[in-house]
Amino acid sequence: MSAATLSLIGTVTALVACAWAGLLVMVQEGPGVSASPGTRTSTSVDSARCERVTRVSRIALLFVAGVAASEAIGWWYQPFGAGMGRAGLALALLYLIAEGLPRSAAVLMPKLAAALDPFARLTLSPFTPLVGLISLTTLELNSNIIINIKPGKQDYSVNVLAVNPATNVIIDRIDFLFLELS
């Protein structure tokens, strides 16, 4: 394949992955989401599982989009300044398509986000093996790490390592030394 064909394939792949991730972001930010980001209002197990799959899917799609865009622009073939500039512009475009516009659209048009929810849930099925692998890895890490942690700190480590939304993680207080300037 020629370089132009590979560049075109990379561009199309990046844009499709960004649009797909944008769809998932729009559904996450839609009317079924509470005021705190990343958590759904319902507490059912299916809703929490769907939230986890959606989050992992979004991250995987953003990774695919970044790799495809990187291949499309070929920033490593350019001089350092020009390559970093192209990579920065590509990242800004990816962020705009995959995160910025869908979040704004979900806030401005919540009925559209609600209407897209069933379609978005249908598109999550390719990512269930990835979520299963991450869940098994998390369980294995938790079972190995919990043994070596003090009893009071086990909940903290479980929440940090979990794929679920960490809403009850408490970070230990850090003491600072302040200087009074007045």
Strand partners, 40: 33
Q: Please name the residue that has the structure tokens 């073939």.
A: 77
Strand partners, 33: 40
Global pTM reads: 0.66
DSSP secondary structure code for residue 97 in this structure: I
Domains in the chain: boundaries: 3-123
Q: Quick one: which of 169, 175, 140 has its CA closest to 156?
A: 169
- How many residues does the structure list for the chain? 182
Centre a 10 Å sphere on the Cβ of residue 122 and count the other Cβ atoms it contains.
Answer: 8
Amino acid, single-letter form, for residue 78: Q
Report in angstroms the alpha-carbon separations of 129 from 57, 100, 108, 134, 152. 11, 28, 34, 9, 33
Could you read off the pLDDT of 115-125 as tens digits, one per residue?
Answer: 888 888 888 88
Query: What's the pLDDT tens digit per position in 78-113?
Result: 899 998 999 899 889 998 988 889 989 988 988 988
The pLDDT of residue 39: 45
Q: Do 50 and 121 meet the contact criterion of CB atoms below 8 Å apart?
A: yes
Instruction: Take residue 40 and report the two structure tokens written for it.
Output: 């759904």
Residue 16 has pLDDT above 60, yes or no: yes
CA–CA gap between residue 152 and residue 37 (Å, rounded)? 28
Candidates 131, 134, 130; CA nearest to 161 is 134
Residue indicated by tokens 């989009």: 65
Whether the pLDDT of residue 34 is over 80: the answer is no
Instruction: State the pLDDT confidence band at 132, using cuts at 50, 70 and 90.
Output: confident
